[in-house]
Structure 1
Amino acid sequence: MHRVIEPRVLYFGTPVVLISTCNEDGSANLAPMSSAFWVGHSGMLGLDETSQTTHNLRRSRQCVLNLADPALVSSVDRLALLTGSRTVPSHKRAKGYRHEADKFAAAGLTPAPSDKVDPPRVAECLIQLEATVNRIHAFGEPDSGVVAVDVQVVRVHVEENLLMPGTDRYIDPDKWDPLVMKFLEFYGGGHNLHPSRLAKGWGAPVLTRTLPQP
């Protein structure tokens, strides 16, 4: 029997993306997000309008979308409640966010130069998408505090071991296992992988975990 509910979030399972952008002083910002989809070589990103990432995208019109895999779950989680904004918005402060200037160092990740945009790539990510911003507009209900960012992918970097043998255009779906956020929890290969600081910040119930077997 179906039941009518009002869920806190509708994160049914989307890939985790680490978005790198450039701050006004030229330093790099890095932020995790999981509200993204792609059609062709265009992408749509859902972001908090107060985030440092959104501010950077409005100004510079450039980013790199670094797709995380399950091996990076602890690094992603370390970024979950950090913000590059020196003034932490009240709605984020209530969830436990704090300011962090060097997100790459906080996550234990390595910046790598990009080819066509200024923000660095995340060296540890197996797939990196350099992109430029087409447009930014309000998203959702009035006063949602969320924006939709339409981006154009201008260069794709892929770890060569993910490619199908004999091709330079096709990624083997059996070799690529994205890190997925499902209802504020981290999943890979169908398993819950790691306790989520974001879930704790949102006050989600504690998950009874079935961790993958070694």
Structure 2
Amino acid sequence: MHVVPGLKVLYFGTPVVLISSRNEDGTANLAPMSSAWWLGQSCMLGLGNSGQTTANLLRDGECVLNLPSSAMVDAVDRIALTTGKRVVPDHKVKQGYRYVPDKFAAAGLTEQASDLVRAPRVAECPVQLECRVVAAHPFGAPAPYATAFQVEVLRAHVEEDLVIPGTHYVDPIGWDPLIMKFCEFFGGGHNVHPSRLAEGWSMPHQGRTASV
């Protein structure tokens, strides 16, 4: 039997992406997100309008999509409730967000120079996609509260061990992406780590103990 609960959140499960971009002063910004999907050599990104990453993409038109493995969940969670905005929006303050000028340091991750864009890659991420913005569309109703960015993947960097020998394909058995389902972290089908984001969004299962 189906019920009609009126779902508040529709994050059924998507890969976590660490988006790196450049701030107006040239410093690097890093933001975790999970509203992304790919088709061919393009990707659609859904980003809230109050974030620093949105401002950076609208201004510079480029970024790097860094895909962490499930083993990197600690680093991702450390910056889950942080923002690159000096003035933190009120709704984010209520959720526990704080301003962090150096997200790479806060996460314990390393900047790596890109080949084709100014934004740095995350050295520890096994998949890094250098991208340029093709289009930006207002998103949300009745008033837009987010932006849907269409980006073109200019160059893909993939850890050699993940590439099937003699091909241009990633080994789906070897690749264990960090997945976010309803604000909780999953990898290999298991809840791998408690989530600060779930707590900030007051998800009802926020206190559940992670299993491995």
Per the normalisation by structure 2, the TM-score is 0.97
Q: Higher mean Cα deviation, 138-147 or 170-179?
A: 138-147
Q: Which residue of 2 aligns with 1:27?
A: 27
Question: For 1:137 and 1:68, how far apart are their aligned partners in 2?
Answer: 26
> How big is the shift at 1:144?
4.5
Residue type of the partner of 2:163? L
Runs of 4+ in 1 over 4 A off after TM superposition: none
Unaligned runs of 5+ in 1: none
Question: For 1:100 and 1:38, how far apart are their aligned partners in 2?
Answer: 29
Q: Higher mean Cα deviation, 144-153 or 179-188?
A: 144-153
- Contact in 1 for aligned 2:186/2:192 (Cα 8 Å): yes
Per the normalisation by structure 1, the TM-score is 0.96
- Contact in 1 for aligned 2:137/2:147 (Cα 8 Å): yes
> How big is the shift at 1:165?
1.8
Pair 89,210 (structure 1): closer, same or farther in 2 beyond 3 Å: closer
Q: Which residue of 2 aligns with 1:39?
A: 39
- RMSD between superposed Cα atoms in Å: 0.9
Q: Which residue of 2 aligns with 1:51?
A: 51
Q: Which residue of 2 aligns with 1:99?
A: 99
Equivalent pairs: percent with the same residue? 60
Residue type of the partner of 1:154? L
The count of corresponding residues between Structure 1 and Structure 2 is 211
Question: For 1:72 and 1:30, how far apart are their aligned partners in 2?
Answer: 15
Unaligned runs of 5+ in 2: none
Question: For 1:14 and 1:196, how far apart are their aligned partners in 2?
Answer: 15
> How big is the shift at 1:208?
3.0
Question: For 1:80 and 1:98, how far apart are their aligned partners in 2?
Answer: 10
Question: For 1:115 and 1:14, how far apart are their aligned partners in 2?
Answer: 27
Alignment of 1:120 with 2:98, yes or no, is no
Pair 210,53 (structure 1): closer, same or farther in 2 beyond 3 Å: closer
